Every structure is written in structure tokens, then in C-alpha cells.
Amino acid sequence: MLRNGLEPWHLLIVAIVVIVLFGSKKLPDTARALGRSMRILKSEAQAMKDESATATDPAATDAAATAAMATAAATAPAEPSAVAPSQ
């Protein structure tokens, strides 16, 4: 019964169910958000790894903290500019 595991037609059925449940318009947005989250997670994990490796050297710790802040600033969404209403 399950001796071959997942076969191609199993994956096709799963793909059809996902498209029906979420709709074709939401899937690209969901994939984009997932990719963005994965990039943030990867950069934060790298920053933590660098931070733990340089914890003994205070000058290197300051550089790692600066790099982590720059990474966070680069991945943060841009704030809309304030525009004064015209009268």
C-alpha cells in the first residue's frame, strides 16, 4: 500500500488542493513572505553565530552589533514619508 511512498500523482493532488484552498492570487504573496522570513532568519542566525564567536573580543563585539543593526535596518520595511495636506 505505502511501499513506494509519495508518487507524482500524490503530489499533483496535494498541489490542486492547495490551489483550491488558498487561491492562485494568494500563493505568490505567501511564497514571497516565506522567502523574506527565511532570509531574516538566516541573517539573524548568522549574526548570533558571529556574536558568540567574537564574545571574548570587545572590539569585535561592537563590530558584530553594528553589523546586526545594519542587517535589521536593511530588512525593515520603509516608513511612508509624512506629507502635509495641501489647503
Q: Is residue 80 part of a domain?
A: no
Q: Is residue 86 part of a domain?
A: no
The pTM of this model reads 0.42
Q: What is the pLDDT of residues 2-35, one digit of tens each?
A: 566 778 888 899 989 988 888 878 888 888 999 9
Contact 19, 27 (CB under 8 A): yes
| CA dihedral sign of residues 66, 71, 72, 74 | positive
40 pLDDT higher than 90 = yes
Q: Is residue 2 part of a domain?
A: no
| CA dihedral sign of residues 60, 65, 68, 70 | negative
For residue 25, give its domain range: 8-73
How is residue 66 annotated by DSSP? H
What distance separates the 2 farthest-apart alpha carbons in the chain?
Answer: 74
Q: Is residue 59 part of a domain?
A: yes
Q: Is residue 3 part of a domain?
A: no
Q: Is residue 79 part of a domain?
A: no
What does the alpha-carbon distance between residue 45 and residue 87 come to, in Å, rounded to a whole number? 50
Q: Is residue 1 part of a domain?
A: no
Name the domain count of the chain.
1
